[in-house]
Structure 1
């Protein structure tokens, strides 16, 4: 079975043993550069209570027990998740006060609609919330919140190609599609300037980002894109659209229903690719259905974005062993597999970075995906909250010393 994202992060671990109550020893048959980075990710590798996991079985997700400053209290499906302070917590960060955190409870509200989120924030019903680029100025103008903004680590929103189906298995077609995208327009209009154009698979916020993608990435050039399509055997028909052997070139582009920013980007892509002579049909899906289709290869083009702090995400996105997990491109390229393996087994940081750079160059030149944007993420914190710390390293909000004021 495919190990998935978490399993792939510890793929080199052969066995694990607990030598005493507070020591775990991992055995690896070969070097594995991303090990410590992977282990420090609380999203995948938080410490769980074995007793609670075994007792709850398949229901553990609804009755979680961890080691953090808060304990699970309540989950109302589709409405809220409530945590209560852990009075025994005394192993926090060195720079924070010792002992339990100050807030008695933290309530996570589920508010699917963006407009409702904004109204709730303006009404003072929400103290901390993510804010989309389109709503950032609205929230800022209320004067009720401090907004933290930072370049989001990971891939940035990108156009996913299914490399296993024709004609997307032709590099010339993929390169032409990438050249037909005017990223500056996407930044200026679709993102209201709250992003930067991206030309390689990683945003500049990722550890291991290679600036060289700015030079080898495919910039907007409709003339060159048209020439590549002609080289691939396509001609314009009487309607000004591309066809080959009498068959028009058309794709279905899948995106997430209700994700307004992605939909806006997809609509611009539809318009820009039509200028090349490519017909695009937009299909909106529930997030789980979209991801399932991209994992299984049941798509042609799709919107996607993956958050990750380290360049090891390249292995998960493009190594052939990850087909069925995060290799949504359905890509099997022996040359790339070899490069990706070296990014994991090389321990010298400088030499490893060279392999990481080579991977970014190869992925960019082959246009296995079409990078679009590096997005700015915004977190709004109510003026009622004091003592919060927003980390530019982990991109997380720390509430160790936070408290509410009237």
Structure 2
């Protein structure tokens, strides 16, 4: 990481106190900045005194900031604060409440959830950009029409196109098919029935099938946020570097995979803190009482460093270079939150703990088109089941994850619709004996006596597993290799940077890869999409195709929540358990820490937004530094 990769250090802790906080790490283990030289995460010029700035780190690099071209959490965290969706999630409500954002009131719903009409607030303007030539550019309904169409333009190769197709907007698929068939530019100017600007500030959607949860889609501002056509056309293939929205922040600086700085959007509309926590939520009620009525955003700047290695990321927080430790590194979890409570030495410093069971799931996926691990024949299913049974998830939890997770049984996320903590998948068992028996039965045996199994036809059996080069990933790699060694399966690990692995995954070039999916909505449908046949090559990285599963998925989209929809979900879960295109590992417990001068922080469950709801007290930070 370059010397300019993160904000400057502010009054480093005395070395003795810092080492005590770390549990007596050897001096050689410290980053150069804490062992005598300038801190690697702290060399650029900082903001002026009194500036309200939030500083923290992403542990994985972003890919860019064009909503139509991104899918990763880190990029979507940025776009959630640059672009505005029609609706938003209340910051404090649990499990969730959806409220108008740039829309006026609730949508008008008609024709059995097939017609949705939304009115926009007049007078909202985009952040300044040279493209606008010094003139205010008002947000209008046509901006949402254009933004929606961009996901279907083949040029953008949007990984989210299947999610947008899921909404069944009338006429949009025909435009996409025409561009693909005729190899002509996508037609943005032809009006379609499914999404129209009825007037300057009125937007209407017409859907082919009922979509009872369409409001959740409209609340995903990190993807479906308004964009100005003239900006996209002006920047062309550089649009990932030039996000221009109507949200509370605008991009001020970007050094790819190193540093992201955002600043308050001076053109942001007048918006006051009005979160509505549940009546029995004492913490939420206290936050709301303290901040109610404050103009948003309260912060002037947000500075993000990209630090993939856990130790420098953690030390930067302990040394007060960061205000937020977003997801405390697992290596330090047991000393930070012993038995789920904040360590006394951190509590004495006034550091705050924010701990939740995240609405996520980690998994290994198998490329169903790969000649070794893919396919639907009995011997291929047996191989994937054996790999699953040989995976010791509980050991992963107790060692690498330091107890900060619970076993996952399926793709359904905690807190989401359809989650049942009592549900048990047969593929969640750890049973190496059964794994060996399956492999033996289907001809995966060691024929040459070298200790490794071959394929049934005698050809080599080598599992190619994609990973990342950071220390935490290496810990996961080591434990999984031991799992595979124990049943005679040779595992080769190919490390690469996360964005590059993601590109290869979308192209179907990876055999096996572990990754996590954090739910962006309370509904289960996006989780099921990652195995939906038409989404292959996009969200469906395993390229799983099963007619009955797809039919269940299609039927569930049109049904309101209830017993009938839940029964279809359970059947879909059985299909996944039978074919094992994915091995579900854990739901993560995340521990966020805040410095004592951070006010109002709460990790969002859905929507990715929190910057505008957080304040930083510069005077208290300066006093702590002095």
Do both proteins adopt the same fold according to a TM-score greater than 0.5, normalized to the shorter chain? Answer: yes
Q: Is 1:150 matched up with 2:329?
A: no
Q: Could you list the runs of 5+ residues in structure 2 that have no partner in the other structure?
A: 1-153, 171-193, 276-291, 337-341, 622-626
Change (3 A) 1:92 1:21: farther
Specify the alignment match of 1:300 in structure 2: 511
Residue number in structure 2 paired with 1:207? 417
Q: Once structures 1 and 2 are overlaid, which stretch shifts more, 24-33 or 1-10?
A: 1-10
Q: Which structure 2 residues correspond to residues 2-401 of structure 1 after superposition, within 5 A? A: 4-11=158-165, 12-14=168-170, 15-87=194-266, 88-92=268-272, 94-95=274-275, 96-130=292-326, 131-137=328-334, 141=343, 143=346, 144=349, 145-154=351-360, 156-168=361-373, 169=375, 170-211=380-421, 213-237=423-447, 238-243=449-454, 244-258=456-470, 260-308=471-519, 309=521, 310-392=523-605, 397=610, 399-400=612-613
CA contact (8 A) 2:219 2:607 kept: no
Q: Return 234-243 or 26-35, whichever deviates more.
A: 234-243
Change (3 A) 1:388 1:356: same
What SS does the aligned partner of 2:530 have?
A: helix
Q: Which runs of 5+ in 1 are unaligned?
A: none
SS in 1 for 2:299: coil
Separation in 2 of the partners of 1:388 and 1:223? 47
Q: Which moved more, 1:196-205 or 1:396-405?
A: 396-405
For 1:262, what is the secondary structure of its paired residue? helix
Q: Deviations over 1:279-325 (max 9, x none)?
A: 11111111122112222222222222222233112342111111111
Size of the aligned set, in residue pairs, is: 404
Deviates more, 1:354-363 or 1:204-213: 204-213
1 CA distance for matches of 2:325 and 2:502? 25
The two structures, once aligned, show a CA RMSD in angstroms of 2.6
Change (3 A) 1:307 1:392: closer
* 3-state SS of paired residue (1:46): coil
Q: Which has the larger radius of gyration?
A: 2
CA deviation vs aligned residue, 1:373-394 (integer Å, no higher than 9, x gap): 1112232211121233344555
Q: Distance in 1 between matches of 2:572 and 2:579?
A: 11
Shift of 1:52: 3.4
Change (3 A) 1:63 1:400: same
In 2, the alpha carbon distance for the partners of 1:257 and 1:360 equals 33
Partner Cα separation in structure 2 for residue 9 and residue 200 of structure 1: 20
How far apart, in 2, do the equivalents of 1:22 and 1:93 lie?
25
Q: Secondary structure at the match of 1:106?
A: strand
SS of the residue corresponding to residue 134 of structure 1 reads: helix
Q: Is the 8 A contact 2:385 2:427 kept in 1?
A: no
Distance in structure 2 (CA, Å) of the matches to 1:84 and 1:241:
56
Shift in Å, 1:348: 4.8
Distance, in Å, in 2 between the alignment partners of 1:312 and 1:67 is 28
User: TM-score by structure 1 length?
Assistant: 0.90
